[in-house]
Amino acid sequence: MKGFPNFEYYFIKGSKTLDIILQGADVGIDKPFIRKVINTCRKSGNSVLAFNFLYYERGEDHSSGEELLEELETLKSLMVYVRAEEYRHIRFVGKSLGGIVGSFFLNDLPENDMQRYSIVILGYVTGSVRLNQFSGKISIIQGEKDKFGSIEKVKEDLINARSKNISYFEVKEADHSFRNPETKEPVFVDEAMQLLASIK
């Protein structure tokens, strides 16, 4: 990999959990939504790693391709850098595309590693997330008016998932980015953050 992207790592001495925040397609660590995710995770007392994907740093509009190879390489390299393996619990917190990247990583884990991991997806992209083989904890926070589908559509997408520990949270009236679908004002983001804060 040709160097790291911009990233932030907040180390909390004695923390048993590392939250890894995975950006949305056009929502990097410089954007208000991801800043709120970072702050919410930090307030929980967990160590936090947040970074931009390389395509975002290059000013490009799209990820590296259907298999997300560059994004996964960046994730794995940064996990090595911050010694993620030393944490008892690793939790991915992914916004949209970030949830897809996290799911690809988790779906390919060895079975005996899966219980060390969990994932929270803020804005689940139906038909793109791969979590059927993952047996760990899954939490979905979805806008009622998400363009990729409501909570009911997400449940259909995960009907064959191996995990028996799946929680679903719906934000009424919200779109994919927890905004008012008509005005595009981010009026439901704080509600989404409250739900995130409630997930351990």
Residue 195 makes CB contacts below 8 A (sequence gap 6+) with 141, 169, 171
Residue 2 forms part of a structural domain: no
Q: What is the pTM of this model?
A: 0.96
Rounded average pLDDT over 98-108: 97
Residue 194 forms part of a structural domain: yes
* Choice among 57-66, 72-81, 140-149 with the minimum mean pLDDT: 57-66
Residue 148 makes CB contacts below 8 A (sequence gap 6+) with 123, 124, 125, 126, 127, 176
Share of the chain above pLDDT 70, in %: 99
Band (64; pLDDT cuts 50, 70, 90): confident
Rounded average pLDDT over 157-183: 97
Residue 94 forms part of a structural domain: yes
Residue 173 forms part of a structural domain: yes
The rounded distance, in Å, linking the Cα atoms of 196 and 189 is 10
Rounded average pLDDT over 170-195: 98
Beta bridge partners of 90: 18, 117
Residue 18 amino acid letter: L
Using the predicted structure, report yes or no on whether residue 2 has a pLDDT greater than 70.
no
Residue 11 sits in a domain whose CATH number is: 3.40.50.1820
Rounded average pLDDT over 123-139: 97
Residue 75 forms part of a structural domain: yes
Q: At what angle do helices 97-107 and 69-81 cross, to 10 degrees?
A: 70
Pairing between strand 117-122 and 137-143? parallel
Rounded average pLDDT over 10-28: 96
Band (33; pLDDT cuts 50, 70, 90): very high
The rounded distance, in Å, linking the Cα atoms of 8 and 50 is 5
Give residue 85's domain range: 7-198
Rounded average pLDDT over 26-33: 95
Residue 1 forms part of a structural domain: no
Number of domain units in the chain: 1
Residue 157 forms part of a structural domain: yes
